[in-house]
Structure formats: structure tokens, C-alpha cells
């Protein structure tokens, strides 16, 4: 009889957006990460968080329903620094958080009005 190790999953590795990246779009931004490094066959879902707070005290996104290793986010603010992380869950519980990466969104496009003097 073979014994299996059913401990908590190990941390995932973040892929994109790249750490410290800038000029990220406000809508349609795709986040990707690797599957948890060990115990892959027992992964049930992922928790994905995005925050403007590096300690994740206030969450912009907190999704605990993901079964895939990507998530699209919409509605980000102009010229804002965000932090993101992910962790996996199996039947034993939640694994360790990934590293925390940060990115900054685009600067607001200003509309210029030209007045013609008569």
C-alpha cells in the first residue's frame, strides 16, 4: 500500500503582470500564475487577491472560487499602485501565499480643449 502526503499545497509562482510593471490597463488586465508547486493533483481551487494596501487590509478583489490559474480584472483606478497574490487550497486546507507583486496602472488621458480667439 502506497502512502500519500496530503499536506497543504505549496505556493504558486506569479507570472503576470510582472512585478513593478507600469502603465497597466484599467480594464481587461489578465493575471496569471503557475499551479501550486507540489500536490498538484489535490488542488481544488485558488484564492486571488488584489489590493491598494501591501498588507491586504483593504481588498479590491478577493476571489476564492477560481479553479484556473488566471483571472481578468476590470475597473482599476488611474495611476494607482496595486498589490496582488494567490494561494491554493486542497482537502487539507489553504497553502502558503505566493510572493506579493505590485504594478501601477496608466495615467489618465487628459482631454484638451482648444479655444479659438476671434
Percent of the chain with pLDDT over 90: 71
Q: Return the SS3 of 24.
A: strand
> Which of 3-7, 50-54, 72-76, 79-83 bottoms out in mean pLDDT, i.e. has the lowest?
3-7
43 or 68, which is more confident: 68
The more confidently predicted of residues 69 and 2 is: 69
Per-residue pLDDT tens digits for 14-66: 999 999 999 999 999 999 999 987 666 688 999 999 999 999 999 999 999 99
CA–CA separation, 50 and 11 (whole Å): 17
Q: DSSP labels for 92-106?
A: TEE------EEEEEP
Q: State the pLDDT confidence band at 115, using cuts at 50, 70 and 90.
A: low
Q: Which domains does the chain have, with CATH numbers?
A: 14-105 (2.60.40.10)
Of 20, 16, 18, 19, the C-alpha closest to 30 is 16
Q: What is the pTM of this model?
A: 0.86
Rounded-to-integer distance, Cα 86 and Cα 78, Å = 23
- Report helix, strand or coil for 55: coil
Pairwise pLDDT comparison (117 vs 80), residue with the higher score:
80
- Spell out the residues 6+ positions from residue 85 whose beta carbon is closer than 8 angstroms to its own: 14, 48, 49, 56, 97, 98, 99, 100, 101
> Which pLDDT belongs to residue 1?
47
Confidence of residue 71 (pLDDT cuts 50, 70, 90): very high
Amino acid at each position: 500500500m502506497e502512502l500519500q502526503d496530503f499536506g497543504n499545497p505549496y505556493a504558486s509562482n506569479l507570472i503576470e503582470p510582472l512585478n513593478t510593471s507600469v502603465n497597466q490597463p484599467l480594464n481587461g488586465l489578465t493575471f496569471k500564475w503557475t499551479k501550486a508547486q507540489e500536490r498538484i493533483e489535490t488542488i481544488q481551487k485558488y484564492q486571488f487577491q488584489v489590493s491598494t494596501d501591501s498588507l491586504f487590509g483593504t481588498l479590491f478583489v478577493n476571489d476564492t472560487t477560481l479553479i484556473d490559474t488566471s483571472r481578468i480584472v476590470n475597473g482599476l483606478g488611474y495611476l494607482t499602485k496595486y498589490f496582488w497574490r494567490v494561494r491554493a487550497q486542497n482537502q487539507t486546507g489553504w497553502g502558503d501565499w505566493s510572493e506579493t507583486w505590485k504594478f501601477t496602472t496608466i495615467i489618465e488621458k487628459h482631454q484638451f480643449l482648444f479655444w479659438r480667439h476671434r
